[in-house]
Structures are given as structure tokens and as C-alpha cells.
Amino acid sequence: MTISDLDSLAILPACMDEIEILHQESGFLIINKPSGLLSVPGRHPDNRDSVLIRMQKLYPTASIVHRLDFDTSGIMVIPLSPLFLSEISKQFQSRQVSKTYNAVVAGIVQQKKGIIDLPIAADMENRPRYKICAESGKKSTTEYRLLSVDEVEQTSRLGLHPITGRSHQLRLHLQALGHPILGDVFYADEATKNRSSRLLLHATDISFHHPEDKKMIKFISPVPF
């Protein structure tokens, strides 16, 4: 990477929040990632701080099998052994892992539940953004349900279940629905972006088959907003 390449990369603000360990076994950890922390190191050398680096300082065999956006908080599974890494990777690839999110969006959502099925592609002219694109986008599907509304604040709280796992999928799908997430610096209008100091998107739970006894297990992270 050249000096000019480095100059074009943003240096992210330091995350002072700790990673909370919610559950621990010999083969894996369940953690709660704070908003404002990368899942893996960024391209700029000053963006090394991440879930992977912090976990490997405590657990040298820790690895990453899935990611949350820098701005998104919530639950992650961290493999600690080759067996668990292999098994959970297979479950992610075959879509046997189920994840649920909670978001606060602008406006009053009228439908109690629905499905957003819009293809997503990288926005090469506006990286790191993505875009809805029928021509080059990959199939992307999100189920949502209305949890509550705040008539005074004119916001809605949604439960989200991504069937696919595209980058920025939930942000883009909700923006396309006409209800951008509060605090979204990439896709929300200026007023909605400024309504929160952080992205109001949190990964609340994850379910998968334990690699040893194959039983379905579920872990939950409380919503912090």
C-alpha cells in the first residue's frame, strides 16, 4: 500500500468501551461488541484495534467467523478451536445460523411485519457505501416486524431477521423502505443521522448447533438503547 493509499483512508476514533464476554466454553466465546469497534483490523495501520486483536490478546487461538459493522453493537460468536471454527463456518455458509437485530428507525412503520427483498452491490464510486442495484446486486432478503412505535418522537422499533448477510444490508433495506436507522452516517438523511450519537442497530441474539452435541443453542444480548 502506497503513502497516497494510506492518506485516502480514514483513521477511526478510538473505542474506549470494553468487550463484554457473555458466555465461555472451551471451544468458543459469546461476546457483546460495542458500537464504534471494528470486527477485524482496518487497512490503515492506525485502525488495528478490533474484536479480533483484543480477543487474541486474551485468547491466542481466537478467530473471526462473522462480523458486525463498526457502528453496530451486539452479539458475536468467537471460535477458540479449529473444530469450532470449521463447524460454525459450515453453518454460516448453509444459513443454519440465525441472527436477530433490533433497530430504531425514523417514522411510523405501518405494516406489522414484512419482507424486504432488494439486491445489494458495492457502490464503487462511493466506497465504503453499498447500494440497491437490480443489475449487479446480489440477492438480499430481510424479514422485519414492528415491535413498538413512539408517536411523540415519530420513531419505530423493529425486530430484524436477515436471511442473507450482505454488508450494510439492514441499513440499506430500511432506508429503501423509507425508514432509515437513527444515527446512520451512510444512508440516513442529515436530520435522521443527527438524532443519535450512534447507529441504533444492535445484534440481539444468535442461534446455532453446538459443534459437539449438535443441539441448537441460543444466546441473547440486551438492547442498550
Distance between CA atoms of residues 160 and 92, nearest Å: 17
Distance between CA atoms of residues 34 and 203, nearest Å: 10
Give me the active site residues, please: 69
Distance between CA atoms of residues 139 and 179, nearest Å: 21
Backbone φ and ψ for 200, nearest 5 degrees, come out as -85, 65
Give the dihedral sign, CA 149/173/196/203: positive
Strand-strand pairing, 73-79 and 201-209:
parallel
